[in-house]
């Protein structure tokens, strides 16, 4: 079941944050705003959450309680992706850091075109 649309203030914030990263290509994923590098999903919104792709680093962060695993469908966890805690999304410096990490990681993956 797809969550409700992302709140407009969060969609606006997503756009403002992505303005700092011109290498990111914006399009929708799961019907929500998302950013890609080399055709690879790096970050995006999902309902009222903000997910980032961090690869192997993501599992270590979840173990430390820094984020929740990204599970767009019940029982279908996407490995390497996490939902950022609300306090990170609310903090400009932290959010820019995490989004930058996600975009950098996606940039290391083989291009999808």
* Structural domain boundaries in the chain: 8-108
- Average pLDDT value for residue range 80-109: 93
Minimum mean pLDDT range among 7-11, 82-86, 97-101: 82-86
pLDDT digits (tens, 9 = 90+) for 11-54: 999 999 999 999 999 999 989 999 999 999 999 999 999 999 99
The pLDDT score that the predictor gives to residue 93 is: 95
- Average pLDDT value for residue range 4-15: 96
Enumerate residues 6+ apart whose C-beta is below 8 A from 36: 24, 25, 26, 27, 42, 106
Question: Who wins on pLDDT, 27 or 60?
Answer: 27
Does the pLDDT at position 94 exceed 80? yes
Place of tokens 């203030």: 9
Enumerate residues 6+ apart whose C-beta is below 8 A from 56: 80
User: Which pTM was predicted?
Assistant: 0.89
Q: What is the CATH number of domain 8-108?
A: 3.30.1460.30
């Amino acid at each position: 079941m797809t969550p409700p649309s992302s709140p407009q203030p969060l969609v606006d914030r997503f756009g403002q944050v992505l303005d700092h990263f011109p290498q990111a290509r914006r399009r929708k994923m799961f019907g929500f705003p998302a950013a890609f590098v080399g055709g690879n999903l790096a970050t995006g919104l999902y309902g009222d959450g903000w997910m980032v792709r961090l690869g192997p680093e993501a599992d270590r962060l979840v173990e430390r309680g820094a984020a929740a695993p990204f599970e767009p469908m019940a029982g279908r966890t996407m490995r390497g992706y996490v939902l950022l805690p609300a306090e990170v999304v609310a903090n400009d410096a932290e959010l820019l850091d995490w989004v930058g990490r996600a975009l950098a990681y996606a940039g290391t993956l083989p291009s999808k075109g």
